[in-house]
Structure 1
Amino acid sequence: MPETPPTVVILTALAVEYTAVRAHITDRSELVHEDGTVVERGRLDGTPWTVALAELGEGAARAAALTTRLVSWLRPQAVLFVGVAGSLKDDIGIGDVVVGTKVYGIHGGKQTPEGFLVRPEAWPASHALDQAARSAVRDMDGVRAHFKPIATGDVVLADARSEIARHLRVHYNDAAAIEMEGSGAAHAAHLNGQVGALVIRGISDLADAAKHDADASGSQQRAAAQAARVAMGVLRKHRPRGTSDSTGSEEDPHRGPAGPASNAGDHLDFRGGTFYGTVIGKQINGGRG
């Protein structure tokens, strides 16, 4: 039987995000799950990846449920959530890209007479995908990327002086952007245990009262396009499991298929054209190189 090509699932919430990613995918065909979930599957040219692209709609709970379904159905090696977000930092502007080093779920807590006691949840990014992203953006002209935590909440933040904005500044002070789906996708990938996840968000507004004006100016299209560029860069750097470059163990002919150059009990010495030593307890003398 032919080998199944390595697959990555790219998730989006909005049509503008889907369109931005879809522009990079070739040889597309539509797949429909028995429950009606639709994906487009195609290729990212110049890579070994098959890409399955889905538009899920808004909300973390929906993202979690559908991510679980897609992972079970398509068996991907990685899940990327690619889209737009609002900035929470003065030095992160519209058109910048935030790559989530971790994703916070911001609504967990306990209300007490003394106030709201936060019980945060966080899911770290896949180390391999994080490293691929850092490598990719170094050579990307016109992309200003930030590797920072991202906050996820079922809220559209359009008031920098609101109670939720204050809540984020106090309890999630390192979060650089806010969006609505990343924690759901990250949580689902984490529970699977075999799938790396990364959230990539282009900044389309400053999470303030000017959000409507920013959106009307075309900022969502610009932000989605930048996030999609970074996502494609990640896949051009990220290697499917079981592959390596010439310095890795799996394809280095001097090291064998996977593992150290010799067994733990091996010892070989080469003197004057002759090997001396032991291999797993056997004496070797006079073996010619």
Structure 2
Amino acid sequence: MTTRIDSHQHFWRPARGDYTWLRADVPALAPLVRDFLPADLAPLLHAHGVEQTVLVQAADSEAETDFMLELAAAHDVVGGVVGWVDLGSPDAMASLERMARHPKFKGVRPMLQDLPDDDWIARVPRPDAIQALVRLGLRFDALVKPRHLPSLMRFLKDWPQLPVVIDHAAKPPVGAYGGEAFAAWRKDMAGLAALPQVCCKFSGLWGEAPPSTHGDADAAVRAVRPVWEHLLESFGADRLMWGSDWPVLTLAGDYAGWIEVSEACIGGLSAGEQSHIWRGTAQRFYAISTD
């Protein structure tokens, strides 16, 4: 069986109270408003040869990061945690230094897609906070949509030392391939891929595909393949990493289905290239211990 690292998954307990986006009164999200914890994911990881995961923030609070670090300390399968810090706060550097004392704290993810200012990343983060990320050997997950890519480019050109991964390939318009929006996404992603510090996650794309593909892995392959081909051409296998985006994934399909969709894309590559995408890129980028 192929051994894998899932570079992007979440755990949450809604009763903690800081998941402001996770609303039971939004029908599309209602299935997610329950606990999703390590015991729920463990059988899926075992069934598909996933040896370690990267646990990613889902709330804009340091309390949630502490919650995730507690889970990571208790569960060896979590190889790294990507948390949240307000990079515009005067306290950001101190928060990063505190969190970095935990060996599984790997970096931060501002929830850029949900901020009212599309240009936030290029204007607001404090230089001392970004310098602290670099100094502490931390990484930056970019949760963005296509409209944020020009601002992200300006930010990255200012901070070439900062390792960055684009989550979910910036959520392109999967399935809408004839229009200006997809052409703009292709151009902007190719520009970002030209920066050597940037990697990209092959994750979250089934949820961006048309609802007609949900629950249908074959239809999802057809919808996702043009995105996959552009990512591979732009980033190469050694800067792409696979992730599930579980449990958000469950709104579109299941873990086995996303493995099937991903295999249909990744499986045509050489063994070495496949190894990069399934585990090597994530292991290297996040400095995940294999001991």
TM-score (norm 1): 0.31
* Structure label with greater radius of gyration: 1
Higher relative contact order (CA 8 A, sep 6+): 1
Q: Which has the higher strand share?
A: 1
Q: Which has the higher helix share?
A: 2
TM-score (norm 2): 0.31
